[in-house]
Structure 1
């Protein structure tokens, strides 16, 4: 029965996977072609292994600078989001019940408000502290993603026996020591899982950098793609090459972190 179910699932999923893979195949093969070849035979495999499009992109656009800008913003933002979210979840979990309830309601309200609705007031606030057109300003904006981290981490923390925290406090450990030495090691699976999802969000985000970044030397990779829409309007192979360059780091990251994502979800579902 199980074997037949697996065969049926494979029969259904393989065609769906092929359909989903067609756009990626289309983009990838056309990065190795000339404009004429792309126009004449867009789905045909390339006749030769031609890397001229990749060389042209690196020569005409500040891809390396944009990559390090994106890497800097992503790493610092994820560290802040995980730290703030974990500390908030731990504080609510061991804090007074009434305070935790009030704080939880406030965070729920903040979570359901669309980010686009607050762009104008946020822009004015960052302008007041001179963080507009700044990578650090982007980090401040992304730090608001701590709310999402807070909810997931709090749900995971509630599966941990409270006796572990109480035992550490009886042994004389303060709140921060309990958080750092007891809570953090126990919630590592959910931290990794949340970190992966938030990394993909920050890396691929377009709206926030587009609103708050003006200088070309501070642009992220996604903004480089947006800028290239006008620059390479008729040169589709070059534009697709830039798209591949932007996607490759996230594809590699997701493949490497895939096992951690599954591990974190499974551990969270069976813990306690």
Structure 2
């Protein structure tokens, strides 16, 4: 017998989707309106689709330089998080001992520590070593992103049989070759998940860059947007255009990687 469609759930899903999409709709349509039209006609489509807002916001944000800064920090941090977390998780999953167990649960417990509790000591220590710059920011992101990434990799590695390691070792591969040429390619789904989670977090992070970066021209997009809003508080047409420019890169990346994220999350679940 054919299963009856549950129209109530479908309607509820559509309703929730519309609620979720409403802020994006308002941001997008208002980014093409004039300042006057935003306050007189907020919800409807613009009378004329004007790109002047984007041109002015692009210039005021110094968007190309700011985009490069965000890309540099995000890509460098995520690549290093993936490399170090994958290697650490592999060692913790393959070497079973009391020390490895303690280390793993230490990483898991670190996820529960709120950033605000270590914020001031962190900035003080890094300031003494003159690392309040982009390099220091990348180093901090590696530390804060490693815990969750190791947890996800560890769960996926527990589902990969050790017989693969043993077979590769018999064929003459060393531990480094076993990991990078045999194990790491199998971890592609969870690697995509780790990349997406960290990219969205690092790309949108404002608090840590605001504490670390104090050199003009080195700002990330969220930090630059903060100053942009401070300067153009009442010019919402420019603010909406700037916000749209800021979220486009991460949305593009997400749509390219969305096929792998569901499988990656399931692979990273601890059984």
Query: What TM-score do the two structures reach when normalised by structure 1?
Result: 0.93
What are the equivalent positions in structure 2 for 1:182-201 lying under 5 Å apart? 182-201=182-201
Q: CA deviation at 1:99?
A: 1.9
In 2 relative to 1, CA 147–29 (structure 1 residues): closer, same or farther, beyond 3 Å?
Answer: same
Secondary structure of residue in 1 paired with 2:48: coil
Q: CA deviation at 1:195?
A: 0.8
CA distance in 1, matches of 2:77, 2:159: 27
Q: CA deviation at 1:216?
A: 2.4
User: What CA deviation, in whole Å up to 9, does each residue of 1:118-164 have, x standing for no partner?
Assistant: 111111221122110x1111100110111111000000000011111
Secondary structure of residue in 2 paired with 1:179: helix
Q: CA deviation at 1:96?
A: 4.2
In 2 relative to 1, CA 266–148 (structure 1 residues): closer, same or farther, beyond 3 Å?
Answer: closer
What are the equivalent positions in structure 2 for 1:76-87 lying under 5 Å apart? 76-87=76-87
CA distance in 2, matches of 1:3, 1:180: 49
Aligned residues: 269
CA distance in 1, matches of 2:196, 2:109: 25
CA distance in 1, matches of 2:63, 2:260: 29
Query: What TM-score do the two structures reach when normalised by structure 2?
Result: 0.94
Q: Which residue of structure 1 aligns with residue 5 of structure 2? A: 4
Q: CA deviation at 1:58?
A: 1.8
Whichever structure has more helix as a proportion of its residues is 1
CA distance in 2, matches of 1:110, 1:180: 27
Q: CA deviation at 1:268?
A: 5.4
CA distance in 2, matches of 1:127, 1:3: 64
After superposition, the CA RMSD in angstroms is 1.8
Q: Does residue 61 of the first structure (1) align with residue 61 of the second (2)?
A: yes
CA distance in 1, matches of 2:148, 2:95: 20
Partners of 1:63 and 1:224 within 8 A in 2: no
CA distance in 1, matches of 2:225, 2:209: 12
Partners of 2:155 and 2:267 within 8 A in 1: no
CA distance in 2, matches of 1:75, 1:194: 13
In 2 relative to 1, CA 137–187 (structure 1 residues): closer, same or farther, beyond 3 Å?
Answer: same
Unmatched runs of 5 consecutive residues or more in structure 2:
none
